[in-house]
Structure 1
Amino acid sequence: MIAFGPLLIFFASQVGTPGPANMALMATGARFGLRPALPFVAGVAVGKQFIIWPIGFGLMGVLSAYPLIFTTLKFASAAYIIYLAWKVANLRLNTDGAAETAPGYAAGLIVHPLNPKAWAMITAGFTNFVPLGTPTLQATAVIAACLFACQLVLHPLWCWGGDRLAATVAGKPAERWLMWALAALTVLSVLFVLFQGGEA
């Protein structure tokens, strides 16, 4: 029997703490505001399902058998997120009514598949909270539902936090420092996951 309570607490602690996806959500909210960013938020939430189901049905077993592929994917994903962090560092908040549009649903879908923290937390969910002998479909569906519920609550809050920060610092000297801080937190979160041995 899967322990729903501890599993939800674990996932809430992971989804709610700083990481590459949450930094992207905060930066998007800061740049464009909460409402225009909602399709991106929805894409980020749904995109994690693209990791959960393959892991649940055996992808980690394949990657474990070929560790070089796993390592290559891990570092390639980290490099891409660090590149995105560089772009965030050089963004300036949108205060002039420019026509630039927020990233949409499709852009959000790829955030978690390229996020090492997402892979680590999902793997930890399966290995630490699913008893041996649990049917694969049941275990995967429970983890998918628990994570999606946490994301529906916490991802919009990160985006809204960015929106509120922007209202405070846009056009001020602190704006540059905010964007660099968001970028730095993104990079640090990626490096932490990469070099802590793959734990969430």
Structure 2
Amino acid sequence: MELYLSMAAFALAASITPGPVNLVALGSGARFGWRPSLWHVSGASVGFAVLLLLIGLGLHKMLERLPVLLVFIRFAGVAFFLYMAWQLAADDGVLSPEAEGRRPGFWAGAVMQWLNPKAWLASLASMGLFATEGGVGRIWAFTLLYFLICYLSVASWAWAGSRLGRHLQQPERMRRFNRLLALLLVASAGYLLVD
């Protein structure tokens, strides 16, 4: 039981803290509401769970042999975060039916996790700490536990955004909020370059 509490604590600390995926969930919740943002939440959670499971089942061995893949992931992540930041900064803040097409969906959430070095580091560290010594059964159990905590964590950011969105109904306020999120994404991307 103590092992699973430690696993849950690690998963919560890694999932609930600010990061690019959570910032996009916050922005999506503010712009489109909580329920429509659950597609992004679902994609991010499934994407992370698949990454975590593959790391546990042996993907980490390939990364040890080909460390250039981690460099590629880092730069692809930076490019993707900058693209998302540009989309936020360029947004006019007007809530319209056309804006619905720009809502981050399932695949955007999944791709963000696969291009997010924080997700890779959390997967590598947590599988090394908690699951690989316990066999395939523990890897699957840890992946399920982490998926649930990740889903609830990212969903809480979307929910917080939906509450905040009530105060951002004016296009100028939404533009300022989107630009703040864009700056935070750029800072996340910059951190990845200097880390």
TM-score band, normalised by the shorter chain?
A: 0.7 to 0.9
- String of CA shifts for 1:109-129, please: whole Å, max 9, x gaps: 322112111111111101233
Counterparts in 2 of 1:83 and 1:134: CA distance versus 1, 3 Å = same
Q: Any conservation in 2 of the 1:30–1:165 contact (CA below 8 Å)? A: yes
TM-score by length of 2: 0.86
Q: Any conservation in 2 of the 1:20–1:117 contact (CA below 8 Å)? A: no
Identical-pair percentage: 30
Write the distance in 2 (CA, Å) between the matches of 1:100 and 1:179.
Answer: 13
Q: Any conservation in 2 of the 1:56–1:139 contact (CA below 8 Å)? A: no
- String of CA shifts for 1:12-70, please: whole Å, max 9, x gaps: 01111110110111111122111222222222211112211221121121111122232
Write the distance in 2 (CA, Å) between the matches of 1:159 and 1:92.
Answer: 20
Show the 5 A alignment for 1:12-161: 12-95=12-95, 97-101=96-100, 102-130=103-131, 133-135=133-135, 137-161=136-160
Write the distance in 2 (CA, Å) between the matches of 1:178 and 1:99.
Answer: 19
Q: How many Å apart are 1:152 and its aligned residue?
A: 2.7
2:167 is paired with a residue whose SS is helix
Write the distance in 2 (CA, Å) between the matches of 1:58 and 1:98.
Answer: 44
Residue-pair matches, total: 193
Q: What amino acid sits opposite 1:177 in the alignment?
A: R
1:18 is paired with a residue whose SS is coil
TM-score by length of 1: 0.84
Structure with higher helix content: 2
Structure 2 counterpart of 1:183: 182
Q: How many Å apart are 1:190 and its aligned residue?
A: 4.0
Q: What amino acid sits opposite 2:108 in the alignment?
A: A
| Structure 1 spans left out of the alignment, 5+ residues | none
Write the distance in 2 (CA, Å) between the matches of 1:60 and 1:51.
Answer: 10
Q: What amino acid sits opposite 2:148 in the alignment?
A: A
Write the distance in 1 (CA, Å) between the matches of 2:192 and 2:128.
Answer: 17
Write the distance in 1 (CA, Å) between the matches of 2:83 and 2:93.
Answer: 19
Write the distance in 2 (CA, Å) between the matches of 1:150 and 1:26.
Answer: 17
For the aligned residues, what is the CA RMSD?
2.3
Write the distance in 1 (CA, Å) between the matches of 2:172 and 2:104.
Answer: 25
Higher mean alpha-carbon deviation, 39-48 vs 7-16, is at: 39-48
Q: What amino acid sits opposite 1:152 in the alignment?
A: Y
